Amino acid sequence: MLRLIDARTGQPVDASLTRRGLTCVEAHATALDPTALRVLVVADVLVRALELGGTPVWGLLSGERDLAELRAAGADLGVRPFEDRHDAGAGLGERQVIHVVGEGGVRPDGVCVAVAPARDDAGTPPWDDPTALRLALLSRRRRDPARVDTRALDEARDTLARWRRAVADWARRPSRPVPEEVRGRLRAAWEDDLDVPSVLNVLRDVQSDPDLPDGARFETYAYADRLLGLELTRDLGAPA
End-to-end CA distance of the chain: 40
| Strand-pair category, 95-102 with 111-115 | parallel
**What's residue 128's pLDDT?**
81
**What's residue 17's pLDDT?**
63
Among 130, 126, 119, 115, which Cα is nearest to 196's?
115
Place 18 in a pLDDT band, splitting at 50, 70 and 90: low
For 212, phi and psi rounded to 5 degrees? -90, 130
Alpha-carbon gap, residue 106 to 154, rounded angstroms: 33
3 DSSP β-pair partners? 14, 192
Q: What is the pLDDT of residues 165-178, one digit of tens each?
A: 999 999 999 999 99
Q: Average per-residue pLDDT in the chain?
A: 90
Residue 127 pLDDT exceeds 80 = no
For 198, phi and psi rounded to 5 degrees? -70, -35
| Strand-pair category, 57-62 with 22-28 | parallel
Alpha-carbon gap, residue 167 to 240, rounded angstroms: 11
Give me the mean pLDDT over the 195-221 stretch. Answer: 97
The model's pTM is 0.92
Q: Please give the domain boundaries of the chain with CATH numbers for all domains.
A: 3-148 (3.40.50.620), 155-228 (1.20.120)
Residue 189 pLDDT exceeds 70 = yes
Alpha-carbon gap, residue 89 to 46, rounded angstroms: 21
Amino acid residing at 114: A
Q: What is the pLDDT of residues 129-154, one digit of tens each?
A: 899 999 999 999 999 999 898 899 99
Residue 88 pLDDT exceeds 70 = no
Output b/e per residue, 178-214; b: 16+ Cβ within 10 A: bbeebbebbbebbbebbebeebbebbeebbeeeebeb
Residues 86, 84, 111, 13, Cα dihedral to 10°: 130
